[in-house]
Structure 1
């Protein structure tokens, strides 16, 4: 096993990130301009776990989760609505987890910034990777 040094520790907002300006297709955007920026700070060796900082302006879009997502809202306000129409509002300081398989909408009510961690579950029956 390769030794991992202190330099391998990702410090959110400090460690250099891969920054992507996300453009959603018209089939996904419901309203608004959004202006999404995703700053990826860490990706695990098997690409199953990532962390980063996500920012967006106001707007609404369809959301379908293929990964479990944990996030901490730094600022802003969003409404997440499930496919049955039930909604919850989240704002600065909220810390939540959205499970893989969730389908619904995200409405960004005011400019929003969050730290996130995604874990992409292994498909059922797929063996774990050898260490």
Structure 2
């Protein structure tokens, strides 16, 4: 059966439930940041995901097994790699974090982003 227009996921029209969660204590470096996730799409093979994420002020460790495209919709964050090099991201910024990246993610102002994730090692 061919895939048609009705299979397209329109983020503005879909009503995906918001998953709220806290990070595990061993990851958190500062604050008690709550995370909000609306995963609007996951592929059948479970390697590709897209949605909207929001994080509260705080700082935590990150270790990416996935490749992630991000577009910051609001707020500001500082991403720091394991060498201490920093990148500030804010509203309108678009970037990719490659699989294997390790460091920290610090939310300075409540941050909301569109994410597109590809997990290469899922089977």
- Rounded Cα–Cα distance in structure 2 between residues aligned with 1:87 and 1:14: 36
State the Cα distance separating 1:15 from its structure 2 match.
Answer: 1.3
Q: Do 2:67 and 2:99's aligned partners in 1 also have CA atoms closer than 8 Å? A: yes
CA RMSD of aligned residues (A): 1.4
Indicate the larger mover: 27-36 or 106-115: 27-36
State the Cα distance separating 1:121 from its structure 2 match.
Answer: 1.0
Q: Does 1:81 align with 2:75?
A: no
- Rounded Cα–Cα distance in structure 1 between residues aligned with 2:12 and 2:47: 21
- Runs (5+) with no aligned partner, structure 2: none
Cross-structure match for 2:28: 29
State the Cα distance separating 1:61 from its structure 2 match.
Answer: 0.4
State the Cα distance separating 1:16 from its structure 2 match.
Answer: 2.4
TM-score, normalised on structure 1? 0.88
Cross-structure match for 2:5: 6
Could you list the per-position Cα deviations for residues 26-72 of structure 1 after superposition, in whole angstroms to 9, with x for gaps in the alignment?
00111112111000000111111000100011000000001000010
Provide the secondary structure at the position in 1 that maps to 2:36: strand
TM-score, normalised on structure 2? 0.94
Give the structure with higher Rg (CA).
1
Provide the secondary structure at the position in 2 that maps to 1:7: helix
- Rounded Cα–Cα distance in structure 2 between residues aligned with 1:96 and 1:73: 9
- Rounded Cα–Cα distance in structure 1 between residues aligned with 2:47 and 2:40: 14
Provide the secondary structure at the position in 2 that maps to 1:71: strand
Cross-structure match for 1:63: 62
